[in-house]
Structure 1
Amino acid sequence: MTTLNRARGALRAGVLTAALAALLCGTATTMSAASAESPSARPASARADVPAGVTAGVAVFDRQTGTFTEQLNTAAQFRSASVVKLLIALDVLWNRGPDALPASDRARIDTMLRGSDDDAASTFWSNNGSGAIVDRMVTRLGLTDTARPPSTHPGYWGYTALSARDTVKIYRYLLDSAPAATRDYVLGDLRRSTRCATDGYDQHFGIAGSFNRPWAVKQGWSGFSSGGCTAPATTAAKAARTGEAPAGTAARTPAVADAVDLTRPALHTTGVVGAGDRSIVAVFTLHPSGTSYGKAYTDIGRLTRSLNVPGAARPAGTWVGTWGSGVRVRTEATTASGAVTTLPAGAEVLVGCQKRGEQVSQPPYVNDWWARLPQYGGYMTNIYLSVPENQVPGVPVC
């Protein structure tokens, strides 16, 4: 068996053979920079570690002490992407419990919150007054930085302006003031967040990737060209449904240009973490134009892991970069076993242990070691891990 070259970080991968592409991962791409990170407890004095080139708004609120443990650009307005679905759901449920809803509306809320379904959100947006939904929720919850989409894009609910501190207010209302039935229903859906969203994006980044359960999350993304977690809808079709323009085509209007960036790719992670939903976390990020989903996925993960989040339990393992596109996670350490999911290209993964399995060839490399990914419940071949050897240094054998 050939040992992986230590210069692997400079590899420009060739094209996989048709057989390997069918079984393993599709077409290889340039390998990302190697990285490995072991988890550690964050000190009380932790500060948000924002990756280079990223613009961020961050708030972490400890409900036990009633204080913020992290605050960075908390009032900055970002386009909400799918985080606004929280307000859309709460508007539907205002002054009536979930049991009073028609079965069709309950089904829409479930898929909108669990799978971040855009069609469901668009239905509620159209039926319930569009921007008036945001206006009502601003008044009801006392939000200060939240505003309906610009008049030039009234159907683009993802262009609603939202800040980290207002997002904390939304979750505080849900946890502490909403009727119990509403609280339990909405949080129940957020705890059931599916890894693959209905538009084909892996939505278990940020909070969901950084901390062990219990957590409940509502994520948001906008301006990326493809998902891959499942067979994604076309970018154009998604834009038509949600009013979120395809990557690189979003228009900025003078009325909102100074306050809300509608152009750069956006990736947000929000939710509650820990026993008793101790901490509320809101992380909003903008990334340089052209940033891939996998790169943004990795960057928001690193930022979220840097935060001081009281009550959060961090998963054991080592964070390692990956390379290649369409890399599959499988149920066993063989290419013949079932596919669990497909990784975002270049995303970091948490490796719990590693073991020998089927030998995989990606010329000039050959490797029979496979990494166990506990957060996915499966294995990936080590050949697509950004490490200099066949095994990941310091990671135990399964």
Structure 2
Amino acid sequence: MPDGVRASYVVFDRTTGRVVAERGARRVFRSASVVKILVALDYLERNKPSASDRKLLTVMLRSSDDKAATAFWTRGGRKQIIERMVARLGLTETAPPPDEKPGFWGYTALSARDVVKTYRYLLEKAPKAQREFVLAQLSKSTPCGTDGFDQTFGIPSAAKRPWAVKQGWSGFGDVPAEPCRGRSAQQVAYRPDLGIGRPVLHTTGVVGDKIVVVLTLQPAGSSFRAASRRVTELARQLV
């Protein structure tokens, strides 16, 4: 990674139950859309989804739809979602957004180690219906998010299928400089350093028998294209 890029990663081999590569596993980043996995799990564990909510969950997980995430975030009690998931999954570096930004779900703090724990919970402990639904959506990640950003950086470009991924991005503006041309779906006391003011770009997911998590804080002013190249190259080295 170039100077100015802060990167953490963990590769967990499910066949051996061992971490096979890691760097800065407990370093904290703001989650961006990676938190949508926790939002979905929290909702599914407390509710039997209606047909309309299943559609919202689908677009949130496949195409990273922010409006859908905000709807579930508000209904779930905002930071209470994170508090419940931290307790249930045994997360240690994950924390709700700052008190002055309660509606900013993307400002949830998390670490690469905790994202691995989240995927392990999903794969090993979540009820079968929840596991199958969430993984089905993540395995159908659309090339474009509903906000027009390209979701194919990192794992989708670096690894052969089968994979199931949840990407995250924040700080590149509301509208991408280069709109994605693929297809998208329809439309506390602990105060960690979230790198606010600098872009983050994350790629996480299940790749074959491994869980791969790459979290990055990019230099201020980085373009989405340049950051995507960096993350994809790192993901390629790991997978």
TM-score (ref. length: structure 1): 0.56
User: What are the superposed Cα offsets for residues 235-283 of structure 1, whole Å, 9 maximum, x if unpaired?
Assistant: xxxxxxxxxxxxxxxxxxx973x53211210000000001xxx100110
Taking every aligned residue pair, what percent have the same amino acid on both sides?
54
Partner of 1:77: 28
Q: How does 1:99-138 map to 2 (within 5 A)?
A: 100-138=48-86
Within 5 Å, give how 1:282-361 maps onto structure 2. 282-307=213-238, 309=239
1:171 maps onto 2:119 in alignment: yes
Q: Secondary structure at the match of 2:115?
A: helix
CA shift, 1:104, in A, is: 1.2
Question: Deviation per CA, 1:337-387, whole angstroms, max 9, x where unpaired?
Answer: xxxxxxxxxxxxxxxxxxxxxxxxxxxxxxxxxxxxxxxxxxxxxxxxxxx
Would you identify which runs of 4 or more consecutive aligned residues in structure 1 move more than 6 Å? none
* Structure 2 residue matching 1:194: 3-state secondary structure: coil
> SS at the partner of 1:205?
coil
Amino acid in the other structure paired with 2:227: A
Q: Deviations over 1:210-249 (max 9, x none)?
A: 0011000000000003421159xxxxxxxxxxxxxxxxxx
Q: TM-score, normalised by structure 2?
A: 0.93
Q: Deviations over 1:178-211 (max 9, x none)?
A: 1111111000000000001000000111011100
Cα 1:78/1:84, change in 2 over 3 Å: same
Tell me the C-alpha RMSD between the 2 structures: 1.6
Structure number with higher helix proportion: 2
- Measured in 1, the distance between the counterparts of 2:25 and 2:92 equals 11
SS of 2:55's equivalent in the other structure is helix
Q: Looking at CA atoms only, which structure, 1 or 2, has the larger radius of gyration?
A: 1
2:12 corresponds in structure 1 to 61
What is the deviation of 1:53? Answer: 2.5
- 2:110 pairs, out of 158, 162, 172, with 162
Q: Is the 8 A contact 1:78 1:261 kept in 2?
A: yes
The answer to which structure, 1 or 2, has the higher relative contact order (CA under 8 A, 6+ apart) is 2
| Structure 2 segments unaligned to the other structure (5+ residues) | 183-188
Q: CA deviation at 1:159?
A: 0.1
- Whether 1:266 aligns to 2:217 is no
- Structure 2 Cα separation of the partners of residues 219 and 266 of structure 1: 11
Alignment partner of 1:199 out of 121, 144, 147:
147
Determine helix, strand or coil for the equivalent of 1:218: strand
Q: 1:95 deviation in Å?
A: 5.0
Q: Give the Cα–Cα distance (whole angstroms) in 1 for the partners of residues 235 and 130 of structure 2.
A: 28
- Give, as a single letter, the amino acid of the residue that structure 2 aligns with 1:123: A
Provide closer, same or farther for how the CA distance between residues 297 and 124 of structure 1 changes in structure 2, counting only shifts above 3 A.
Answer: same
Paired residues, what number? 230
> Structure 1 residues 51 and 65 mapped into 2: Cα distance closer, same or farther (>3 Å)?
farther
| Displacement of 1:52 | 3.3
Partner of residue 166, structure 2: 218
Instruction: Note the alpha carbon deviations across 1:303-332, whole angstroms, 9 max, x for none.
Output: 11111x4xxxxxxxxxxxxxxxxxxxxxxx
Distance in 2, matches of 1:210 and 1:145, equals 27
- 1:181 matches 2:129: yes
Unaligned runs of 5+ in 1: 1-49, 232-253, 310-398
CA contact (8 A) 2:95 2:190 kept: no
Counterparts of 2:73 and 2:127, CA distance in 1: 23
